Structure 1
């Protein structure tokens, strides 16, 4: 009998503890950087996962993912970027045109000040494996995380900009991450010129997650736009396609959120389980879990998605 599709699973295997906010001084930024740290209450040699939120979200977003990752062996750090609605930075703010760069610098600041972040949870610093660091990002957060993995932004001269890859980052997960800038709508070209990625330098092992019904208002293409990073980045070795998935991928950003147009606990459960298993494999912790997820999904009678590898 075929194996059942992965379905809803508990968010917590181990109880978690979180601290909000941990404040990292950043006078040149205009607002100090606030982050949330969440971790299991027990366990050692814990890998670190920095999660970059999508436009307007904050360190309090993505609880369905964060609860699961932290409850299953990861220390999750969530910065609040300047575009967060909690900060109220408007388009006429002089920092606004550079927010995409500040986002990347914010993640680097988290890594630079990781000891300070971990110290917010007593004893956590002694339980972390600092050689196993990963990044994840959703939507605009995917571009942010992608920069740390080796993606670059094509400038007005048509050439890739600075390489911001960070050698401390060993793996990544990119969720609903925008594709090539050649396919932007006229509005997007005018207002989001930085959305011109070059993925050819992204060599860090990365799982790409995309919904097959994710139709962006910023792109002239269909949902396959969100798979460009898998197609073009040498490090993006695996693609999880969610059947029926739209931009919020079943509701990864919040529990019971009214703006989730494709609500599906089963979709979210697959993302949670697959992303954790992939990261544990890419970080050299456990390769069997990733193989098991793929085997079960391929054998399912009515699968919620598909995994491709290259």
Structure 2
């Protein structure tokens, strides 16, 4: 019988299309191994088999142990692997991206490199956050000012809704306990949203440092994406949690965010929003192509096929 190590790697044409895969699978407190071309997840309740080629990105939560052979078949199948906190709340480390195509990161870099398109994406992000307002004529300074006012209003509105006193946003980096319960809850919720955004950005193969609103940090694009859901999810959940009790507000907020993320299907929405922001034709998603397509850059923006010697070609 052939051993696992002697089996040949699957060709891209044999793999399941990314669009036909399960976008994300989350596992925790189990041991992951390989049986034939399936991933096995074993815990006290038994063992389940997951065909590796059906996985888009595997999220490994707390208490998971994974074998070398399991990682081998995941890599062979083109699946991404990301180590996260409980229920995918925090991002710790990532393997390869969900796609073999560089189309999404190239689209991101192209829009980022041009000041006009960079501003257009920033306006689109503002429109996603506040759909009742048209930002198409706003400058960057105007965008930042209006965003600041909208977020401040959101803090006040949500605090009033749950009957919580609000004295303004106060956050000292590294000093979580220095804030009141409301501020502690907002800090915890915001950190969770950063983890969720970073998980998605890494899974899609985007460049985390190329932001359209934030700049100068390795996670600028992650901060951009996390802010899309701040007024809708992070702030309301934080205020509700702080209003219930001041005890253990940090961990309770993280669990509440986890539950709201699962209820709203935020991970899949995050994927869709990123593609809508970066791709001119999101429905014609080039990242869904499962084949390995490597081209060479030529003059005048022309791409030519690779894989053969071009020394004799008349350029």
**TM-score strictly above 0.5:** no
Identify, as 1 or 2, the structure richer in helix: 2
Shorter-chain TM-score bucket reads: under 0.3
Higher Rg: 2
Q: Structure 1 or 2: larger strand share?
A: 1
